Chain A
Amino acid sequence: MTPFIRIQNISKKFGKLLAVDDVSFNLERGELFSLLGPSGCGKTTLLRMLAGFEKPSEGYIEIDGQDMANVDPADRPVNIMFQSYALFPHMSVSNNIAYGLKRASLPSDEIKARVEELLRLVHLSGMGARKPSTLSGGQRQRVALARALARRPKLLLLDEPLAALDKKLRSETQFELVNIQEQLGTTFIVVTHDQEEAMTLSTRIGVMDNGKLVQTGTPNEIYEKPETRFVADFVGDISFLEATVIQRAGKYWLMKAATLIHATGSSTLTSGMKVSLAIRPEKITLTSQPTGQLNEFPVEIEDWAFYGAGTQYKVIGPDGIKLKVYQSHNQPSQANPRQLETGFVHFSPDATFILEG
């Protein structure tokens, strides 16, 4: 069976600059896919090629079995929600939403009904006569969403849909967006530089770096099993330990990184190999007294920051190895971390993973 959306070996050159470099991936109908990456990684260019604003230098885009190469943006079954929303300032909310429907020359009562339906969907009923300039940021965002959905696109592209909202509104809107997507079953591609946003929104994430798609997977796979150092570092917080493999120890590997550490690893490792050992801060436990567990060593606490739900520590272990540790406050946090100057950390070998290079 052919996939719903097929993106095959897409590249885009601007002069000498290779903005998108040989990207391929497929989407199933109804997926909510995020393109995640730092600014300038080519994700927006990729989005603009899907919308038809840029022509790919190489490669092939197919939506529902239809080749998009020579299809004008106006005729694509694709709509886009711009980062700036790009609402038409001289038109009312209703006319903004009706714009795409009028281009399709639908009968006016049908347009009216559809606009009402969309206003209800985005909880803006009764606001149809307002001008965009009189709306709040969150309301504008929903008008932009309704306008982009009006033509029932097969694929909806969202360029940093939440970036212009403040933090509190952002988390509410995230759920709202997912709700609407599930209700309609439309395929969404979201471009974002915010890993948290990508995690909470998507069914799958594609991480981009320097024009290349470096990894695709579910949010869980991306977080727990990053394939490259870039992905591990970009998605979530992480510490790296440079280690040398010593020998196999049961189901783990014994390694040396200042102190002896047990870690997971594939059978391709050989003793004497140099590897990067990665571990996420929340997988490490910090105690004031030794507990006698595996992978435990004394540390000095260099710095700390209180986050409310938890505290993040920067600690220095033997030989100056640096680790980030995150302790969530299961109980009301009483201990003033300032008093704690030294302590012990330990972590499970299963929490570690090995990255090449």
Chain B
Amino acid sequence: MHSFLQKFGRLLVIWLPLGWLGIFFMLPLVEMVNVSLSEARRAVPPYNPAFQIGKDGISFQPAVDNYLLIYEYWEDYLWPAVNSVRLAFFSTLYCLLFAYPMAWWIARSNKSLQHILLVLILMPFWTSSLLRMYALIGLLNPNGVINDFLIWAGITVTPIQMMQTDFSIYSGMILTYLPLMILPLYASLVRLDNSVLEAAADLGAKNWDIFRTIILPLSMPGVIAGCLLVFIPAVGEFVIPALLGGPEQLMLGKVIWTEFFRNRDWPVAAAIAIILIAIIILPIVYARYQDKESIS
């Protein structure tokens, strides 16, 4: 009886979450592939499922039209895709630029200051990105705080266009994703043994040399982890291009939204979503491969 209960409990522990995630995460993706292969039509729902179980039994008539459509109008979709990768890539780079010194400083601080700084890093991460983007708009607007200040200080006469530029996107991305870059960097830097740095100094290395030959290579796992943590969500970002970007900063996440809500073209939205997944999988596979390399 006892072992039966144990076995039953074990099955429950595994299959309850497995079942939930299978139904509500995996199945939707399958359905999305299905929709992406379906013909669009003017009806409710606005597509004709490729895979159907109906009166006539099971039928599967995939249509690659939606992908062909994307291919045909590639200019409309390629630029958002390129933008997604470009803006995410440089956002990652800028995040790294600010995050590295911050992580270094936190890792080198004494314990109590470390705790305070870590909480300061974590706090914005937990608050809504939407609200922080809103706060940023208040700063960057033509009649926002920064322009007001610049005009008051006599640096400029007319407001500087900061909204709907790459600059506003990067600001938003840094504001949103900086904590995600700092945390893995901090984790790898804090593990760095102080005596290793002293050994390098003792052997004649100056500050820059120590950074280049010791600190940077030893914190590389943190750099890679941080870059992935920023790049992946940044590629699929919706709120930032929607609120801060203009037509020049169109990204795939926003295109999905527009296709779905405005154009009501669900199959194309699904097809773009699948392309977006493909873009995200690449760096993950690359990182996995690197991991295996470094182990062997």
Contacts and interface: CB of A to CB of B under 8 A. Distances in A.
A103 B202 contact: no
Contacts of A73: 198, 201-202
Interface residues of B, number: 17
Nearest to A99: B203
Nearest to A79: B202
A152 to B, nearest CB: 12
21 contacts: A51-B198, A52-B202, A53-B202, A74-B202, A74-B203, A74-B204, A74-B205, A74-B206, A78-B202, A80-B198, A82-B195, A82-B199, A83-B195, A86-B196, A88-B199, A90-B217, A100-B204, A103-B203, A147-B199, A148-B202, A151-B203
Interface of B: 193, 195-196, 198-206, 209, 213-214, 217-218
Given A88-B214, A99-B213, A103-B209, A80 B199 contact: yes
A150 B206 CA distance: 18
B218 A100 contact: no
Interface in A44-64: 51-53
Contact of A90 (B193, B195, B205, B218): B218
Nearest to A103: B204
A104 interface: yes
Contacts of A89: 196, 218
A86 B201 contact: no
Given A88-B214, A89-B218, A90-B217, A100 B203 contact: yes
A44 to B, nearest CB: 11
Contacts of B193: 84, 86
B202 A80 contact: yes
A150 B205 CA distance: 14
Interface residues of A, number: 27
B196 A88 contact: yes
Interface of A: 51-53, 72-76, 78-80, 82-84, 86-90, 99-100, 103-104, 147-148, 150-151
A86 B200 CA distance: 9
A51 B195 CA distance: 12
Contacts, number: 65
B103 to A, nearest CB: 18
B202 A75 contact: no
A217 B111 CA distance: 42
Contacts of B206: 72, 74
A220 B204 CA distance: 38
A82 B193 CA distance: 11
A148 B200 CA distance: 10
Point out which of A51, A78, A88, A147 has the most chain B C-beta atoms below 10 A from its C-beta. Answer: A88
Instruction: Please list the 8 inter-chain residue pairs (A to B) with the smallest Cβ-Cβ separation, ordered nearest first.
Output: A100-B203, A103-B204, A86-B199, A86-B195, A82-B195, A73-B201, A86-B196, A74-B204
Nearest to A89: B218
Contacts of B203: 74, 79, 99-100, 103, 147-148, 150-151
Nearest to A80: B202
